[in-house]
């Protein structure tokens, strides 16, 4: 048999095997559902519907909390600027806030490094338990974002209805995140219900799903929410376009605000899932040390001061030389 014929035969066998296995899984699911009591299915439906309301409330609440925090922070910054201006120490205040911003960026970078290192250690220590969560997070982010370019993924499923349906409010707002996470959790819930009702010689994939279903589903939900946040923020800030199908007319800034707010809500939801940051440890004792941000700001200020002094001295020397030249004439 020549190589091309062998490849065709292998491909045909693979397709038949996949189709037959899918049919088997479908029949096993139907068998398990037929053995489920009506009360169990009704309870599952009620839990799924209530979960959608909970997911919607969590996103709206997270967005409101974020808006409150940003509003308070902005008001506090404004009051700080006004107070510093009255006390004639505006430049010192700006330096303090710049140092704090640099320190915050450095802290976030360290947190990210610790997170990656923690995941790596967990993979080495317990790969069977950690791998599903990591895989689920990566798959979820890819499904939610469509990639680093922000094209594709769940939000762009509206293109299936044609280019005229693109940027639909159903796929480019928090509705997409609510439905996606709700379906994932509902499927995980259903899988747990039917596992005990499967036929004795069922496909081993059901056992694998029952074993890793919870960490895989949770990480899929987190990754999908983070991916949706990324996609919506890209569409709002980098690739702006109007939403189609809104009941009211509004300027482009309004469309961008809706998508950006939805992206922030999804990001807050993903951050809330992933847990709180570890507390900052303050080690007492020893000589006090300046933070990285303060060192940078002070170094810039010293360099600027030195440059100004040098410039002034240069002007003085130039003036003296000019006056001597005029005197000789």
User: Distance between CA atoms of 296 and 99, rounded to whole angstroms?
Assistant: 7
Q: Tell which wins on pLDDT, 291 or 205.
A: 205
Query: Does the residue 132 lie in any domain?
Result: yes
Q: Provide the number of structural domains found in the chain.
A: 1
Compute the C-alpha angle 198/199/200, nearest 5°: 115
Identify whether 295 is part of a domain.
Answer: no
Instruction: Find out whether 175 and 246 touch, Cβ atoms under 8 Å.
Output: no
Question: How many whole angstroms separate alpha carbon 191 and alpha carbon 56?
Answer: 23
| Domain presence at residue 71 | yes
Q: Does a structural domain hold residue 200? A: yes
Query: What share of residues in the chain are helix, strand, coil (percent, to 5)?
Result: 80, 0, 20
pLDDT band at 283 (very low <50, low <70, confident <90, very high): very low
The reply to whether 107 falls in a domain is no
The pLDDT tens digits of the residues spanning 127-140 come to 666 666 777 778 88
Mean predicted confidence (pLDDT) in 256-263: 90
Residue 143 · residue 181 · CB < 8 Å: no
Is residue 191 in some structural domain? yes
Beta carbons within 8 Å of 185's beta carbon, 6+ residues apart: 48, 51, 217, 221
Question: What is the average pLDDT value for the chain, to the nearest integer?
Answer: 75
What is the DSSP track for 41-63?
A: HHHHHHHHHHHHHHHHHHHHHHH
pTM over 0.95? The answer is: no
Is residue 14 included in any domain, yes or no?
Answer: no
Range of the domain at 135: 37-88+126-275
CA dist., res. 217 & res. 116, Å (int): 20
Say what the pLDDT of residue 23 is. 84
CA distances from 33 to 26, 27, 29, 36, 228 (A): 11, 10, 6, 5, 32
In a domain, 218, yes or no: yes
């Amino acid at each position: 048999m020549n190589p091309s014929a062998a490849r065709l035969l292998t491909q045909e066998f693979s397709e038949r095997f996949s189709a037959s296995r899918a049919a088997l899984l479908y029949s096993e699911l139907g068998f398990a559902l037929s053995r489920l009591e009506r009360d169990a299915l009704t309870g599952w439906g009620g839990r799924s519907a209530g979960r959608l309301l909970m997911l919607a409330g969590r996103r709206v609440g997270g967005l409101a909390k974020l808006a409150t925090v940003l509003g308070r922070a902005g008001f506090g910054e404004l009051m700080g600027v006004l107070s510093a201006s009255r006390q004639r120490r505006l430049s010192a205040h700006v330096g303090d806030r710049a140092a704090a911003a640099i320190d915050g960026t450095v802290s976030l970078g360290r947190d990210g490094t610790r997170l990656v290192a923690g995941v790596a250690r967990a993979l080495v220590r317990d790969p069977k338990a950690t791998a599903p969560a990591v895989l689920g997070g990566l798959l979820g982010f890819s499904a939610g974002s469509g990639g680093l370019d922000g094209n594709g993924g769940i939000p762009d499923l509206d293109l299936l209805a044609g280019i005229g349906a693109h940027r639909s409010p159903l796929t480019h707002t928090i509705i997409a995140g609510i439905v996606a996470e709700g379906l994932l959790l509902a499927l995980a819930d259903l899988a747990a219900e039917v596992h005990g009702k499967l036929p004795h010689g069922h496909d081993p994939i059901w056992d694998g799903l029952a074993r890793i279903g919870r960490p895989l589903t949770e990480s899929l939900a987190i990754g999908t929410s983070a991916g949706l946040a990324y996609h919506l923020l890209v569409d709002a800030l980098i690739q702006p376009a109007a939403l189609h199908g809104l009941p009211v007319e509004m300027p482009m800034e309004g469309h961008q605000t809706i998508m950006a707010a939805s992206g922030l809500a999804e990001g807050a939801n993903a951050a809330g899932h992933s847990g709180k940051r570890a507390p900052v440890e303050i080690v007492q004792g020893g000589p006090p040390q300046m933070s990285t941000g303060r060192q940078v700001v002070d170094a810039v200020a010293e360099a600027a001061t030195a440059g100004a002094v040098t410039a002034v001295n240069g002007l003085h020397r130039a003036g003296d030389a000019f006056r001597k030249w005029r005197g000789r004439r």
